[in-house]
Every structure is written in structure tokens, then in C-alpha cells.
Amino acid sequence: QSALTQPASVSGSPGQSITISCTGTSRDVGSYNLVSWYHQLPDKAPKLLIYEVSERPSGISNRFSGSKSGNTASLTISGLQAEDEGDYYCCSFAGSGTYVFGTGTRVTAL
């Protein structure tokens, strides 16, 4: 159960779109449409952004979208805003009742 691989950092100018990748294996991301994404600010609990690859909970801006291809899931933030800065984590069901998180990506609005 190795952590899913995410880029350490992604940056963009306000208003731009950025995409964060989350690469797993055929035993986790590739086998289940059960990928979720979280945004974490310093000393705060993670906040759910996306579940089941591409579904948004109520109250989450449609600037956040998710997708998956093979063993890689992606989170796209459109119209990047300063408030979007922070750490982003993907998470996937990995079978047998277990889960695995991604390594995390620090997003910076330049």
C-alpha cells in the first residue's frame, strides 16, 4: 500500500487553470471509481472537494472538477484564486476495506 503519487507543488496565476495528478496502480485508482480530493489549510482539517472521481458535494464551487484515466486521477482548479492556496490530497479505495492517500500537492497562486 504505497502512497499515491502527486506532484509536490503546482502554481499558477490568478484566473488560470491548474491540474493536479494523482497516480496509483491497478490495485487502487485503476480498479475503483472511489477517488476523493481534499483541500487542507495549515492547522485545519481536510475539506472534501470531490468524491467518486468527479462528484462535487453541495457547497463546493464548480471551479473544482475531477477526472480519471487508467491509474491516474486528476483535479482541475479553474479560475485559480488566492483562497485556493494550500495543500491538496487525493485518496483512493484500495480494496479489502483499505484506503490510501496521495503524497500531497502544495498549490500556490503566483
Partner 1 sequence: QVQLVQSGAEVMKPGASVKISCKASGYTFSSYYVHWVRQAPGQGLEWMGVIHPNGIGTFYAQKFQGRVTLTRDTSSTTVYMELSSLESEDTAIYSCTRETPRTSYFEHWGQGTLVTVSS
User: In angstroms, what is the minimal distance from the CB of 14 to partner 1?
Assistant: 26
Residue 85: CB minimum distance to partner 1, A: 17
Strands (E), 16-96: 18-23, 35-40, 47-50, 64-69, 72-77, 86-93
Report how far residue 72's alpha carbon sits from residue 39's, in angstroms, rounded to the nearest whole number.
Answer: 18
4 and 68 Cβ atoms separated by less than 8 Å: no
| Least spacing, CB of residue 24 vs partner 1, in Å | 13
Q: Which is nearer to partner 1, 14 or 99 (CB)?
A: 99
State the DSSP code for 8: S
13 vs 58, beta carbon nearer partner 1: 58
Which lies closer to partner 1 via its Cβ, residue 18 or residue 51? 51
